[in-house]
Amino acid sequence: MDLYSLIKENFISGEWKKVSLKKVYSLLEAKKPYEQKAVLKILNALENDGEIVFLDGFFIATKQADLIKGVLRGNEKGFAFLVPESGGSDYFIPNRNLNGALHQDLVLARKVEKSLKGSNDEAEVVRILNRGVTKLSGTFFVDRGRYVVRPDDKNFFEDVYIDKGKEKGARTGDKVLVKIAGYFKGYSPDGEVVEVLGKRYELFAEENSIIKGSGFEEGFNKKVLLEVAKIPQEVADNQLIGRLNLTDRLIITIDGEDSRDFDDAVEVELLDNGNYRLGVHIADVSEYVRRGTALDEEAFNRSTSVYFPDRVLPMLPRELSNGICSLNEGVTRLTLSCIMEIDKSGEVVDRQIVKSAIKSKRRMTYNQVEAIINGDEELSTKFAREKPMLLRMADLQSILTKKRDERGSIDLDVKEAHITYQNGQIEIGQREAKRAYKIIEEFMVLANECVAEFAFYQELPILYRTHEKPSVEKATTFIEFLKVLGINVRWRAESVRPSDFSSVLDRIKGKPYYSLVNKVMLRSMQKASYYPENLGHFGLSSNCYCHFTSPIRRYPDLIVHRVIKYALDGEIGAINDLYGDFIYNSATQTSEKEKKADEVERAVDDLYKAKYMEDFIGQEFDAVISGVTSFGVFCELENTVEGFTPIECLPRANYTFDKNTFTLSSPKHTFKLGEKVRIGVMGVDLSSRRTEFIILYKYKVK
């Protein structure tokens, strides 16, 4: 056993419970200076790894010291919460107990037994294991002769000081990207400007500040681009060997008007026995993105494509995402196909997963398909060849939707914004729930389930898409909220099923608070994530689910493709060697990247909404109260734009906030979720991405 392992084992096993540095030297008989230097180096390494900690003059194993390892979530007021790595409740850490730690730092902390406020959930940072923020964006200004950057992320509550000569030409009011040069206990961090993004309050400067400050990049490095340049943009004949050739079949893509990358294509055939044959054909990205390449490493680091109103940050370079991997009309492409036979009740009676090749016969849009289904004569004539299959698709979708409804799948109806930016103009509307969307959604969900079940019963190491049932606490809060609306349920919080949630939505369809209940229900549910074990999907009421249908824009799908192809080729041993341990690491990476991408997309959407509302300052609109907090009220317009009214701008009174009923009330005034109000647009702050409303009056309930 080497010296590192020996020292670590002694601490972990409890052999060394609480030892001084001098005692460690003695136990190891390290008498010479070079021997002691080697021991000290190992002790420092174990500290950095979080295995041991130096407390009150002694080294002790982290677990024996009863320390909590976790990540800090800062607050603009100067305190933080510790989110334990092992799960469980968060701990409050006041500024005095941070000991130099900041937002997103990985730390070791110990519980404070007697806090000043009498709280039993307070902690103190005892060691910073890793700094979470190495780059950030913010606004540059001069403070008493010193260069300072105030971070956009208010949770990072310390300004960053810039030494003269490292400001890169930045001037007061510029949005900048900063690299942290050093953290010094008791002082604000030092940094250097790496890029000037533009002037504060300019749309694209603010947008780039959000994107780059969150660590997302649009371009790819030279090493990746050199690899991509060697990838052919046409499928060679020898690549078709060993694949099911489907290039002569009527297979089409159905996507949005502005889509550029097409990773799924579909076909539906009515069989002689009355069953449907559904083919879902997915771009075989794994044929071009090989494990261990610079391209694969970059795809893993990104994990997902990120979508904004004016651009896309792709997971893969456009030569792949829009080129050789995209199922463009009229060209041969390599695919992985899930071909299913479905009876009239929606049951999959047979399935086949194969390596294949297709040639898309039509690139169609949701709008075109919707119009044809609704009887548009002009488009029906233009797409006469495709029309019969589109109508079969609509029939099959109805069968599959009914099947999912019967098993209790939750079909939330939450407003979603559709934001576009063209020719300098921002347009915001509510995304329509088209039948054509539903067709593709049902087909993709079914293919994902079939592939997940195949992997599960083959015991293949893949990433499952998991969605656990709501926590007892959140389910209880939701039940209490429903009671306020006069909706009583018989199910219990600890045993809630998907069908319980879907039955609530069925009962209140057409009611004025239908949209409100959808929103609160969504808040009560857990967030879906990737996990190496099958835990089922609560929202879909699915026992087994994975992501298979979007490998161009999601890394988990790419992993599933690789593993499935190994299985189809009979290389089971290679699967476990290559992906056994990797699956666990990729679950954390892809889930965290997805969460971060969602946050950035929402932030940029909020920025565009705020910019859009600049033209409406002083105007009045009807709105619905969409959020109630202890510090104010949020209202939402019909186009999904949300504005905030701080409590000091409400009628003067002493308000009480009820978190269970989402109500802010005083003896004379009450504000609660779902109420219709008339608002005035008071102002817009692009930096905080906030629109401020004033509530003029509430509409009386009829």
Helix axes 387-406, 366-373, angle to 10 degrees: 90
Query: Sign of the CA dihedral 353, 356, 447, 346?
Result: negative
What is the dotted CATH code of the domain comprising 3-61? 1.10.10
Distance CA 598, CA 606 (A): 12
CATH 3.40.1110.10 is right for the domain spanning 617-698: no
Amino acid at 692: E
The tens digit of pLDDT for each residue in 493-517 reads 999 999 999 999 999 998 878 888 9
Question: In the prediction, which pLDDT does 186 show?
Answer: 67
- What percent of the chain clears pLDDT 90, i.e. is strictly above it? 75
Q: What is the pLDDT of residue 114?
A: 61
Matching fold, domains 68-130 and 617-698:
yes
Domain-wise residue ranges, the chain = 3-61, 68-130, 135-213, 222-462+544-599, 617-698
Other CB atoms within 10 Å distance of the CB of residue 177 = 21
Half-sphere exposure of 361 (CA within 13 A, CB side): 15
Structure-model confidence comparison of residues 687 and 440, the more confident one: 440
**What confidence score (pLDDT) does residue 119 get?**
57
Q: What is the mean pLDDT of residues 112-137?
A: 81
pLDDT per residue as tens digits for the range 212-264: 999 999 899 999 999 999 999 999 999 999 999 999 999 999 999 888 889 99
Q: What value does the mean pLDDT of the chain take?
A: 92
What is the C-alpha to C-alpha distance for residues 113 and 532, in angstroms, rounded to an integer? 37
DSSP H stretches of helix in 2-32: 3-13, 21-27
DSSP letter (8 states) at residue 512: T
For residue 49, what pLDDT band results from cuts at 50, 70 and 90? confident
Count the neighbouring beta carbons within 10 Å of the beta carbon of residue 300. Answer: 20
683 touches 692 (CB < 8 A):
yes
Q: Are 600 and 203 in contact (CB under 8 A)?
A: no
Q: Is 376 exposed, middle or buried, given 0-12, 13-18 or 19+ CB atoms closer than 10 A? A: middle
78-112 confidence digits (pLDDT tens): 999 999 987 778 999 999 999 999 999 999 898 88
pLDDT band at 115 (very low <50, low <70, confident <90, very high): low
User: Are residues 348 and 283 in contact, defined by beta-carbon separation less than 8 angstroms?
Assistant: no
Query: Does 360 have pLDDT greater than 80?
Result: yes
Q: How far apart are CA 622 and CA 606, in angstroms?
A: 19
- How far apart are the two ends of the chain, measured CA to CA in Å? 79
Q: What is the mean pLDDT of residues 175-182?
A: 94
The Cα–Cα gap between 205 and 195 comes to 11
- Selection from 59, 38, 39 nearest residue 47 by Cα: 59
Q: 570 Cβ partners below 8 Å, 6+ apart?
A: none
Residue 116: pLDDT over 70? no
* Least confident stretch, 2-11, 271-280, 582-591: 2-11
CATH of 135-213, one of 2.60.120.10, 3.20.20.70, 2.40.50.700, 3.60.15.10: 2.40.50.700
- Express each pLDDT in 371-411 by its tens digit: 999 999 999 999 999 999 999 999 999 999 999 999 999 99
pLDDT band at 18 (very low <50, low <70, confident <90, very high): confident
List, as own/partner pairs, every contact residues 232-238 make where C-beta atoms lie below 8 angstroms and the sequence separation is at least 24, other chains included: 232/324, 233/319, 233/323, 233/324, 234/324, 234/331, 234/332, 235/324, 235/331, 235/332, 235/333, 235/334, 235/357
Q: What share of the chain is helix, strand, coil (3-state, %, to 5)?
A: 35, 30, 40
Band (416; pLDDT cuts 50, 70, 90): confident
Q: What is the pLDDT of residue 642?
A: 94
Q: At what angle do helices 555-568 and 435-457 cross, to 10 degrees?
A: 50
Superfamily of domain 68-130: Nucleic acid-binding proteins (2.40.50.140)
Query: Per-residue pLDDT for 614 more than 70?
Result: yes
Identify the pLDDT of residue 117: 52
Whole-model pTM: value is 0.88
